Structures are given as C-alpha cells and as structure tokens.
Amino acid sequence: KVTLDACIMDHENNCGSVACLQDIENPISVARKVMEETQHVMLVGEGAKQFALAKGFKETNLLTEKSKEAWEKWKEESKYQPVINSENHDTIGLLALDENGNLSGACTTSGMAYKLHGRVGDSPIIGAGLFVDNEVGAACATGMGEAVIRIAGSAIVVELMRNGMSPTDACKEAVDRVVKKHKDLTNLQVGFLALNKYGEAGGYSVYAGFNYAMHTATQNEMIDAKYNREW
C-alpha cells in the first residue's frame, strides 16, 4: 500500500494537509486544495482520497514494479524495522521567499519505506515537517518522522530563529535536541532546513549526506548541510 503525506503553508498561516492518501499522484496539490477550498487543515485516508477525487484528481496505481519487487523481497523476512538512511528517503521540503518578502513552504513524501499501514510521519504535520511564520522564517524537515514529531521540529526551528539564531544554528539546535532525546541513534537520520525573513538559508542533519538546493536571482547550487556525525 503506497500512502502519501503532504502539507503546505503560506505567509498568512493558511495551511492544508493530507495524510495516508492512497492512489493520488500529487498529494501536495490535494493539500493545497484543502487549504484553499475547505475550512479544515488536515484530511486523512479514505476521506482525503474522496476529497481528491471530488476535486478532479485521477485515481492512479502508484505501486511501481520496482517497488513491488522490493516489497516482495522484504516480505521474506518482513521485519517492521523502518530504515531511514542517506539512500532511503524521498521527502521534498520546499521553502520560498517571494519578491514581496512573503514566506511559504511545502513538504511532501511517501514516507518511510515499510511503515505499518496507517502510520503517518512528520511530513504532513504542521509544526513538525513544516512551519512558516511570516514574521520570522520557515523550516522543514526530512528523515525519521517520529523523531521530528517528538521535538515539534520545524516549529522549534522557527522559534529559535525568532529568538535570534541564524537558520543554520537553529537547525543545529533542533538536531542537538533529537540527538539528546534518543538513546539509540542507529540509522536515525534527521535533517532540518530553514529560511529566514532576510533570505538567509541553512541546514543541519544528524548524519552526513544531507544537502539542499539554494535558488535565488544570482545563485543556483547544491549546498551540503553541516552535520552532527558521520554514518
């Protein structure tokens, strides 16, 4: 079962989210519809799918042959040991500052591979996978969603920037909290990305290998984030 999670937030604290959405290709577009066309913030599971279909999204089988084969192989042992490492995650977090100085962001994912059916990670949770406060900055997260939720990750990064930290330092402090709150850090990758009101960006991760794309009028490059430790 392929289940997708996504959320979106704008400069006026409008937000929309879908979780555990099946058979719909672009969950972030559904999240945007939730934000723009309902009174709600979050729709999940079958209700989110019905909403998407009602809004004209097409039902699509998202299980690729490659993923199906990998899953068949996984079933031979079927250990519920979700693994997040530098190769095994697919979340897209996007933070934007427009020409009027307004911030917004989005976060979208199929989540951790081989999660229990029904599991929702940090990515669709406003304050965990994404948070935007137009007075201060925006932040998003990737990696082991449970660890991000436990520290209210993206909301904390924004609050740390409010208190004067640079984007990189705020991400580092959030990573330090993840490290401090978890005894076993095996495979526990988490990365935060932040953008402040002045257009300064930064990132930080538990393990090496997290990078982000910085795109401005004059810059377009991949930047390796600083990190707490090597794998």
Site string for ligand ASP, 98-127 (x = CB under 6 A): -----------x-xx--------xxx----
**Cα-trace Rg, the chain:** 17
Task: In angstroms, give the least distance from the CB of 166 to ligand ASP.
Answer: 23
With binding defined as CB under 6 A, does residue 90 bind ligand ASP? yes
The bridge status of strand 201-207 relative to strand 226-229 is: parallel
Q: Which stretch binds ligand ASP (CB under 6 A): 83-91, 94-102, 177-185, 221-229?
A: 83-91
Helices (H), the chain: 27-37, 45-54, 65-75, 145-150, 153-162, 167-181
In DSSP terms, 96 is beta-bridged to 104
User: How many CB atoms are located within 10 Å of the residue 1 CB?
Assistant: 11
Active site residues: 91
Residue number with CB closer to ligand ASP (11 or 84)? 84
Q: How far is CA 90 from CA 1, 5, 79, 117, 217, in A?
A: 16, 11, 21, 18, 27
Residue number with CB closer to ligand ASP (121 or 167)? 121
Task: In angstroms, give the least distance from the CB of 19 to ligand ASP.
Answer: 10
With binding defined as CB under 6 A, does residue 154 bind ligand ASP? no
Provide the binding-site residues for ligand ASP, judged by CB under 6 A.
84, 89-91, 109, 111-112, 121-123, 142-145
